[in-house]
Amino acid sequence: AQTVTQSQPEMSVQEAETVTLSCTYDTSESDYYLFWYKQPPSRQMILVIRQEAYKQQNATENRFSVNFQKAAKSFSLKISDSQLGDAAMYFCAYRPNSGGGADGLTFGKGTHLIIQP
């Protein structure tokens, strides 16, 4: 069974600084997708960024980027120029490329990100 581990229950960063959230996963699959989702307080979960395992280039979305190390099974999220609106729970998630895409996501336990003004 696949597992996703987020070892940092809570992180704090000063506004405008850079923060990195860690995620490791365990799988025997070679083809899969990894995702970072954000859940702001009392608001809906939204996708931040995704990475396909077969792509060596790290995904980037504006201030958000990932460091994907397939051999190490590591998928960290870097947030640059942190803003107050980045405060949220961040979940790392995994989905294998099997089952025709109908499989659900396997989530980590989440990291609570606090932005200090």
Partner 1 sequence: DVKVTQSSRYLVKRTGEKVFLECVQDMDHENMFWYRQDPGLGLRLIYFSYDVKMKEKGDIPEGYSVSREKKERFSLILESASTNQTSMYLCASSLPQIQETQYFGPGTRLLVL
Q: Which lies closer to partner 1 via its Cβ, residue 52 or residue 74?
A: 52
Residues sharing a CB contact under 8 Å with residue 100, sequence separation 6 or more, in sequence order: none
Which value, in Å, is the radius of gyration of the alpha carbons in the chain?
14
Residue 114 near residue 12, CB atoms below 8 Å: yes
Contact string (CB under 8 A) for partner 1, positions 7-46, x = contact: --x-----------------------x---x-----xxxx
Half-sphere exposure of 81 (CA within 13 A, CB side): 3
Q: Which lies closer to partner 1 via its Cβ, residue 16 or residue 47?
A: 47
CB of 19 to partner 1, least distance (A): 20
| 64 belongs to the binding site for partner 1 (CB under 8 A) | no
* Cβ neighbour number for residue 1 with a 10 Å cutoff: 6
Which listed residue (19, 59, 108, 113) binds partner 1 by CB under 8 A?
A: 108
| 114 belongs to the binding site for partner 1 (CB under 8 A) | no
Dist CA 6 CA 30 (whole Å):
21
| 105 belongs to the binding site for partner 1 (CB under 8 A) | yes
| 100 belongs to the binding site for partner 1 (CB under 8 A) | yes
